[in-house]
Amino acid sequence: MLIKKTLLPAALALGVAAASLAPLPEANAQGAKPKRAAPEAQPAVNFDAIIAETVELIGKNELIPALSMARKAVQARPVNYKAHYYVAFVLFRMGNWDMADDAVRETLRFSTDDVRDDVLKLQQAIAWGRASSQAATDAVAAQEEGLNGKAAALFKQAWEAGYQQPENAFSAAQLFSTRLSQPVAAGKLLREVLAKSADPDVAARAQTELSKLQAQLNGIAAAKLKAAEGASGQPRQQLLAEALDADPDHLPAHALRAKLAAQAGDITALKGVLQGLSRRNKLDPALLKGEEYSELVKDPAFAAWLNDLMGGAAVQQLQAEIAELDRIRALKARYAEQKAEYERQVRQYQATLAEHKKFAPCVNQAKAVHQRCEATIPALDTGFLGIGSNADTVAAMRVGCQGQLQTNFNQCRGAYPEQPPVAPVAPTAPAI
């Protein structure tokens, strides 16, 4: 092993390999036969012991003695890649980018194919370190000039350069949250530190800083979600993305994304939401009890996928609960239909009753007309010995008045219900 993982957590975070490196054979790169060793006046140098001591010093973060020891290894075996590798690595840890570059190029000259990828990773880490260091230097200069926006962007660039020094992320987050009113950007950086840092102290600091912003981030997420609920199409998806940028664990936003995917029949998107929740240990099977998921959960292929996601027992319980919810939903739907019909009947009843109430006045009006007609009929005059009697005229007038009364009665019956309507019976709500 070049370097034990437990000794170099910073290097491993950068992708700097701690791979097993085999020593070079004694033959040189051109295949020349090794020269016969000349008699040594001094004791032979123990190369492996020097390398072991170099690794030990690196583990203790004693970089100056480690560099001295690594250079001693180079003097002992100038064509051995291990010696140059440790010189490059220590210089990398010290932030001496130019000299580290020179040393890693020497390492590549003498490295074997089986370790070349690891050496290239160190070379990449040096390049990241150089870029990160320059961006951080520029950020400090920008901040001193009061250019807070530029400084925040440069500190963020320094963090993202690959070297990933957490102090740069903390500096950027501080500027975003206190000077630039961008708590979402600060929160995203702090969550990145939490995800990428292997140092418990750094993680604890990131969590503390994130906790200070959490109430504000929750408020932003809730506001974005409310706006999304009133939007549609791409604007709604954008608002949901912004809500989750503010708070990736905002369950109502995840729930709405899942619901929209299910309603659109986008099973791939739905699975993505559910897997994301599962990775965060935030997946509650109750999320899938909505009516839009009912047929999906019954589908054998989707149910099998859910088995992989949250286990067979949870899926069986969910299916049983959905079956009961379907039964209740059916009862409620039927009751809603019955209630809608009842309300229609009530409206019809009220309208008919209102018309029926006009029947009696109509009849009374007909009777009044009849009375006025009767009043116009002259008294019966039989004349002298029955000569000149008006009996026929009176009789005819009476018939006419009576006929008019009957006509008016029939008109009332034709216009208005004669009998009052029967009141409808309200349906009984289902016992749930």
For the chain, the domain total comes to 4
Give, in order, the Cα–Cα distances in Å from 59 to each of 10, 72, 166, 282: 11, 18, 20, 39
Are 187 and 241 members of one domain?
A: yes
153 and 117 co-located in one domain: no
291 within domain boundaries: yes
Residue 432 lies inside a defined structural domain of this protein: no
Same domain assignment for residues 348 and 394: no
Looking at residue 95, which CATH number applies to its domain? 1.25.40.10
- Residues 79, 73: Cα–Cα separation, whole Å: 10
Asked if residue 270 is part of any domain, the answer here is no
pLDDT score for 302: 95
Q: Are residues 316 and 404 in the same domain?
A: no
| pLDDT of the residue at 310 | 93
Using DSSP, state whether 15 is helix, strand or coil. Answer: coil
Q: How far from 405 is each of 89, 376, 409, CA to CA, in Å? A: 120, 14, 6
> Who contacts 355 (Cβ-Cβ below 8 Å, separation ≥6)?
416, 417
Whether residue 181 sits in one domain with residue 164: yes
Alpha carbon separation from 230 to 41, 222, 240 (Å, rounded): 88, 13, 11
**Per-residue pLDDT at 119:** 95
Residue 388 vs residues 177, 305, 398: alpha-carbon distances, Å: 119, 111, 19
Query: What counts of helices (H) and strands (E) characterise the chain?
Result: 18, 0
pLDDT tens for the chain, residues 1 to 432: 344 333 333 343 344 333 333 333 333 333 333 344 444 444 567 999 999 999 999 999 999 999 999 999 999 999 999 999 999 999 999 999 999 999 999 999 999 999 999 999 999 999 999 999 999 999 999 999 999 999 999 999 999 998 789 999 999 999 999 999 999 999 999 999 999 988 999 999 999 999 999 999 999 999 999 999 999 999 999 999 999 999 999 999 999 999 999 999 999 999 999 999 999 999 999 999 999 999 999 999 999 999 999 999 999 999 999 999 999 999 999 999 999 999 999 999 999 999 999 999 999 999 999 999 999 998 888 766 666 778 888 889 999 999 999 999 999 999 999 999 999 999 999 987
Asked whether residue 36 is domain-assigned, the answer is: no
Cα 68 → chain centroid: 53
In a domain, 266, yes or no: no
Same domain, 112 and 159: no
At which residue do the structure tokens 């990773």 appear? 121
219 and 158 in a common domain: yes
Question: Does some domain include residue 315?
Answer: yes
Does some domain include residue 340?
A: yes
Contacts of 193 (CB under 8 A, 6+ apart): 166, 169, 170, 202, 203, 206
Residue 109 and residue 178 share a domain:
no
Query: Measured between alpha carbons, how far is residue 195 from residues 5, 189, 203, 206, 295 in Å?
Result: 19, 10, 8, 10, 37
Note the pTM of the prediction, 2 decimals: 0.66
DSSP 267: H
148-160 vs 166-178: helix axis angle to the nearest 10? 150
- 248, 270, 304: which is the final residue of a domain? 248
pLDDT at 43: 54
Give the separation between CA 206 and CA 92, rounded to whole angstroms.
25
Does residue 163 contact residue 132 with C-beta atoms inside 8 Å?
yes
Exposure of 3 by Cβ count < 10 A (0-12 exposed, 13-18 middle, 19+ buried)? buried
CA dihedral angle for residue 112, residue 118, residue 123, residue 125, rounded to 10 degrees: -170
Alpha-carbon distance of 4 to 20, in angstroms, equals 9
- Are 99 and 187 contained in the same domain? no
- Which of 189, 220, 248 corresponds to the end of one domain? 248
Q: Which domain holds residue 303?
A: 284-352
* pLDDT at 261 (0 to 100): 95
At residue 289, what are phi and psi to the nearest 5 degrees?
-85, -5
State the angle between helix axes of 113-144 and 148-160 in degrees (0 to 180), rounded to the nearest 10. Answer: 170
Same domain, 241 and 177: yes
Q: 239 vs 38, 235, 254, CA distance in Å?
A: 77, 6, 12
Residue showing tokens 């007038």: 397
- Closest alpha carbon to 100 in 136, 135, 63: 63
pLDDT at 383: 66
DSSP, res 248: T
Distance CA 124, CA 136 (A): 18
Indicate the DSSP class of residue 387: B
Give yes or no: residues 346 and 369 share one domain: no
- Residue 341: the pLDDT is 96
- What is the Cα–Cα distance from 156 to 169, expressed in whole angstroms? 6
Residue that is last in its domain, among 221, 248, 275: 248
Query: Same domain, yes or no, for 289 and 376?
Result: no
DSSP label at residue 377: S
Site of tokens 């992708």: 15
Tell me if 337 is assigned to some domain.
yes
C-alpha gyration radius of the chain: 47
CB-CB contact of 324 with 291 (8 Å): no
